[in-house]
Structures are given as C-alpha cells and as structure tokens.
Amino acid sequence: MPGTPQSYHLADLLDYHEGQIASRSLKKRFGTKLPVTLLALAQGETISAEESPLIKIIQVLEGQLEVTSETDSWLLNAGDCLPLPVNYRHSLKAVTNCKILQTENEPTIKE
C-alpha cells in the first residue's frame, strides 16, 4: 500500500545563497524516474546555454527569470511556465532573486 501523499510549498524547500545557484533534486522525494529540480538563483546569477534530450518545463515560483535562446527571449514572473522542446538550447538569468521548478519529460510518440 502506497504511503500517504504529502503537500509541499516548493519555494520553502530551498534558500537563496548570495552569488550562487542552489539546487535540489526532487526526483527521489516525488518518486519519479525523470528529473524534477528546484532551483534558487540569486539576482544576476545565470545558467549558461544548455539543452536536454527531454522536454523541459520551467515554472517560476517566485521572482523574475529571463530565458533566452538564439532566436527568442522570455521574461517570466511568478506563476509563469515555459515548456521547451527537445534539444532546445537556452540560457537562464535571474532578473531578481527567483526560484524555479524545472521538470523534464519524454516527448509523446506521434503515430
């Protein structure tokens, strides 16, 4: 019999650290096989260009985050969500202190 579900206030699971990016994998806690990561970026911190073989979903929990690619740019606020396709090269910059939840999922197979 599975355990009792537990609710979380995600932003409280990770603190800011001046001049650093804090991260915590929630994969084990949530019992998923695919990545679920909570990130806290101090204002001005960046994550340089990266891409994933999975669909990446970036959800801003608090603060403001800039997401850029070679051709596009988004300014995301708390409550905003941005799904990125497979192998979409992008970078992140914290406009203010911000916390994000990043999930990665396998693409659906088109028949």
pLDDT digits (tens, 9 = 90+) for 7-56: 999 999 999 998 889 999 999 999 899 999 999 999 999 999 999 999 99
**How many Cα atoms within 13 Å fall on the side-chain side of residue 94?**
24
List the Cα angle 55/59/65 in 5-degree steps: 110
Secondary element (H or E) of residue 27: helix 27-30
Give dist(CA 92, CA 41) in Å, integer. Answer: 10
Secondary element (H or E) of residue 92: strand 90-94
% of the chain with per-residue pLDDT over 70: 95
Does residue 86 surpass a pLDDT of 50? yes
Q: What is the pLDDT of residue 2?
A: 61
